[in-house]
Amino acid sequence: MAKTANSVLVDMTRCIGCRGCQIACKAWNERSARKTVMYGNFTNPTDLNSDCFTNVRFVENGNGKTPVWSFVKNQCLHCQDPSCASVCPVAAFRKSDEGPVTYDYERCIGCRYCMLACPFEVPKYEWEKLLPAVQKCTFCAERIQDGLLPSCIKTCPTKTMFFGKREDVVAEAKRRIASAPGKYVNHVYGIEEAGGTSWLYISSVPFGELGFNMDVPKVQLPGLTWSYISSIPAVIGVVLVAGVGSWVVTRRNEVKEKEGGKEDRP
């Protein structure tokens, strides 16, 4: 990964849950609004979808009798060595030198291997469209190329996100943890997860309690994911062959039974 690669630190102790980033992202990417339903939680929509590239998850933590809210910005983490790009057979995904993992819908063949490979379940498919594409956060690659901040970072009123080169972002995350003992858990999520991501998080609440995937291997995933994904066509082929074979045997037995019945007739 080039030293010019950009990264972001999300300091969740600063987030106030205003969802300005969520609105700015939808506006910049010209995504449609959808009718949603509330389920007793302020997270809305409840998950990312093909029209929602980032959302803010509201997590209620117990603190005696007083509820305490934590706010988690959720979007593509733009892995250093993305498994979505490694499994794509037509190179529709690419990790750019600037940091974003970009997607070329004109190359996409709709295999959706990227959705299976992503350890964070980020890529979403436009099931509702006749000509669907995969959709996810773009890290505002075109804005970065023009020297602008990503739209979500630019609109944040509390400076929850710190943007810079990855080595500087990692150093800033460690500095904040070291300079405020007891304020943060001693973990920077994204330094090692999936071999390292471009979006990093620090928090005052353990990440497992905030819904983060704590089972992500601390190694780069392409080698692991491709060994799994590449076996899928073979498995499907075996299933189809077995199904055809079963149908042939069953059909042959039915024919024999019918012919046997005819021979028994007077």
**Concatenated DSSP letters of 161-174:** EEEEEHHHHHHHHH
Distance CA 139, CA 90 (A): 21
Domain locations in the chain as residue ranges: 6-80+136-227, 231-264
pLDDT bucket at 68, cuts 50 / 70 / 90: confident
Is the pLDDT confidence value at 252 over 70? no
pLDDT of residue 231: 56
Pick the CATH number of 6-80+136-227 from 3.30.70.20, 3.40.50.2000, 3.30.70.330, 2.40.240.10: 3.30.70.20
% the chain with pLDDT above 90? 72
pLDDT bucket at 48, cuts 50 / 70 / 90: very high
Distance CA 245, CA 239 (A): 10
Is the pLDDT confidence value at 262 over 70? no
pLDDT of residue 24: 98
Peptide bond into 45 cis (omega under 30): yes
Residue with tokens 């012919």: 259
Q: Which residue has the higher pLDDT, 239 or 54?
A: 54
pLDDT of residue 41: 84
